[in-house]
Amino acid sequence: MKPHTLKIGVLGPYGAGKTTLVRTLSTIPAVSTEAPSSEGGKATTTVALDYGYLDFGSVGVHLFGTPGQARFHDVLDVVLQGALGALILVRADRPSDLPRVRELRDYVASVLEVPYLLGATHLDKERRWETAEIALFLKEREDRVLRLDPRDSGQARRALARLVELVCEEGGVRCR
Amino acid sequence: MSKQERIEQALDRLRQNMPDIRAAIVASPDGLLIAERGAGNAATRLAAMAATALGLGRRIAQTAQAGEFNELVVRGKDGYLAVFAIEGKAVLALTLPEGGNLGLLRIEAENAVKDVLEEL
């Protein structure tokens, strides 16, 4: 274990790629709590949390993924307690999810009050919003919305690096 | 009679046998409400919580090498919430006030699980 540890939350609507991201980043076998999904688009869905851990430079990062559907909102409070930063995933090919993303962003900003980044997933789809359009909809700074393929460990690690930087600078967390 | 009505009947029988039971709900493993009795406004949230308890309980049982998940009981100052797996197909959640008979609850829940299983 590293001397400094960060708890990072992973949020996003149903099917955005949260479980995949935790699995891609984790260097230990990730813990998942999945149940068969009755909503389509994928075989299983997270019902409690995903957990993964990685050593990241001078800090140890604990990743906590959350369930995506609004009915699990109570679970978010529990799973994200003590989180120091958040990655919010958004499907670029599903603009109808954006109001839900905005709710999650507002929750992170006003309830958790921690630094966050938005990661646009499914950018390989033909019909998609670009990161700048997503930023515009959410009234976010453009540099807070990143391209993030949760299956790509390079992109995932770059996004995490940016977030850890933010947490260490803006969040007032000691990282070294 | 529809499937939902038959599941609701099973919950009615359960509550007749044990009138202490406040709320009885059946939910899918991913937290969608299938049927409820006595849960009122809390039904959809209870369904999501029951699925969360089932998912986490399964994981905990596995990690603790306790085998297949069977039940999870949460005891608060004023009562209990008990969650039972209905095989892999659904989850049964029951609430009981403090001082309620947990032993009887288990027996009744086991019967209800069998009844509901026949409908799924």
pLDDT for position A146: 97
The CATH number of residue B60's host domain is 3.30.450.30
CA distances to A126, A143, A155, B37, B44 from B40, in Å: 44, 45, 46, 8, 9
Q: Is B13 helix (H, G, I), strand (E, B) or coil?
A: helix
Percentage of chain A beyond pLDDT 90 is: 79
pLDDT for position A3: 66
Confidence label for A2 from pLDDT (cuts 50, 70 and 90): low
Confidence label for A129 from pLDDT (cuts 50, 70 and 90): very high
Return the closest-CA partner of residue B83 out of B51, B115, B61, B117: B51
CA distances to A38, A83, A108, A109, A116 from A143, in Å: 36, 22, 17, 16, 11
**Which CATH code is given to the segment(s) A4-169?**
3.40.50.300
- Residues A71 and A59: their CA atoms lie apart, in Å, by 33
Confidence label for B80 from pLDDT (cuts 50, 70 and 90): very high
pLDDT exceeds 80 at position A62: yes
pLDDT digits (tens, 9 = 90+) for B40-51: 999 998 999 999
Chain A contact for B56 (CB, 8 A cutoff):
yes
Scanning every residue of chain A, which has its alpha carbon at the shortest distance from the alpha carbon of B42?
A: A71
CA distances to A15, A33, A40, A143 from A36, in Å: 13, 10, 10, 36
Phi, psi for A86 (deg, rounded to 5): -145, 140
- The structure's pTM equals 0.85
Q: Is B5 helix (H, G, I), strand (E, B) or coil?
A: helix
Scanning every residue of chain B, which has its alpha carbon at the shortest distance from the alpha carbon of A37?
A: B30
> Which residues of B fall within a CB distance of 8 Å from A35?
28-31, 51, 54-55
The more confidently predicted of residues A89 and A1 is: A89
> Which residues of B fall within a CB distance of 8 Å from A69?
30-31, 48
pLDDT exceeds 90 at position A120: yes
Percentage of chain A beyond pLDDT 70 is: 98
pLDDT for position A117: 98
- Which residue is listed with tokens 């935790």? A22
**Count of domains observed in chain B:** 1
Domain boundaries, chain A: 4-169
pLDDT exceeds 90 at position A172: no
Beta-sheet pairing, A116-121 with A145-147: parallel
Contact (Cβ atoms closer than 8 angstroms) between residue A154 and residue A117 = no
Structural domain of residue B55, as residue ranges? 3-119
Output the six-digit token pair for A167.
């947490």
Averaged pLDDT for residues A60-67: 95
pLDDT for position A176: 64
- Residues A104 and A13: their CA atoms lie apart, in Å, by 8
Contact (Cβ atoms closer than 8 angstroms) between residue B86 and residue B70 = no
CB-nearest partner of B52 from A36, A38, A48: A48
Chain B contact for A52 (CB, 8 A cutoff):
no
ipTM of the complex: 0.73
> Which residues of A fall within a CB distance of 8 Å from B47?
71
Contact (Cβ atoms closer than 8 angstroms) between residue B100 and residue B22 = no
